[in-house]
Amino acid sequence: MKKRGVGIATIMFGFGYGEGFPDHSIASLRVKPDGRVELKTAAADVGQGVHTIVTQIAAEVLSVPVDMIDLVGGDTAITKNSGSTSATRQTFFTGNAVKNAAQMLKGQINDLAVKVFKKTYPELYLDGGYVVPHGAEEDKISFAELARIAESKGEKLEAEACYFPITTPPDPETGQGERVYMSYTFVTQIAEVEVDTETGQVEVLRFVTVPDVGQAIHPQNVEGQIEGGTAMGMGMALMEEVIFDEEGFLLNPDFSTYLIPTALDVPRIETVIVEDEEPLGPFGAKGIGEPATIATAPAIINAIYNACGVRIKELPATPEKILRELNKKSAGN
């Protein structure tokens, strides 16, 4: 007999290293001689899209299209420390460093333009790689021209910034602290499953994720993180298990014996993004890396319980474990 059930799980996740650990990110920008903007960051993009995010942030601050940003990433000879791509930290930490550097560069551009136009800052605005006087748009001057003027003065239009927030360690007795993490991401996940009570097999039919990511700078990237994280969580819940023999030898060292979800195992994943802006985040953004995975397994385990009344307390919830618990339940244990 196949029985259906629905389970829900909610988590909160403090991102960044936190707990008083020194954690920072450095980024720099400059206007190149051709007027394009170079952005340097060591933030490693492992497929999560941080290079897209920081490019968007720089472009937004400088009021230029994203294709005017030339990103130089991951070169230890010319980029400074951006910290690791871990702890769900890059959007928040490197995003803030890039935003700060872009604001400093914008200040330099405006300061030089004020002198060139002999106008006050509010009389000017940036648009598409130009500084434009209000009411005299035909007199606009390009970033390239400003870079040449700066060079003639022995100056450069470039800026570097570091984002280095201070966190505090938690009290070992209470677990509380003044600021243990800079902020928290909240995620609720809902799973609908079908349990075959004759085989113990579980099929995940539907998955809905509701993440509070602050401001979603790139919503498609958020959805991608959710979909990938959910698939990983499904593996944790139902399949993935490292098995050793009594002498410590790994018995399932390859993907023919260590099972992970394939596209055929993953149902349609629906993502409903909640945008409650984080005041400390770049344009209100928070991280969504690991939080995309954490609630998945408990949501599935709760759905299994809702479907057939057995509580699996050791992952993965294999068919053998489910049948064992169903037999115990039938026997009245």
Preceding peptide of 316 cis, ω within 30°: yes
Q: Which two tokens stand for residue 271?
A: 């993502």
φ, ψ dihedrals at 154, nearest 5°: 75, 25
Task: Give CA–CA dist 277/297, Å, rounded.
Answer: 27
Q: What is the 3-state secondary structure (H, E, C) of 76-128?
A: CCCCCCCCCCCCCCHHHHHHHHHHHHHHHHHHHHHHHHHHHHCCCHHHEEEEC
- Short-list 9, 3, 1, 26, CA closest to 292: 9
Q: Annotated catalytic residue: which of 290, 314, 320, 325? A: 290
Burial of 43-74, coded b for 16+ CB within 10 Å and e otherwise, reads bbbeebbbbbbbbbbbbebbebeeebbebebe
3-class SS at 293? helix
Active-site residue, 151 included: no
d(CA 148, CA 17): 42
Looking at the annotation, which residues are catalytic?
290
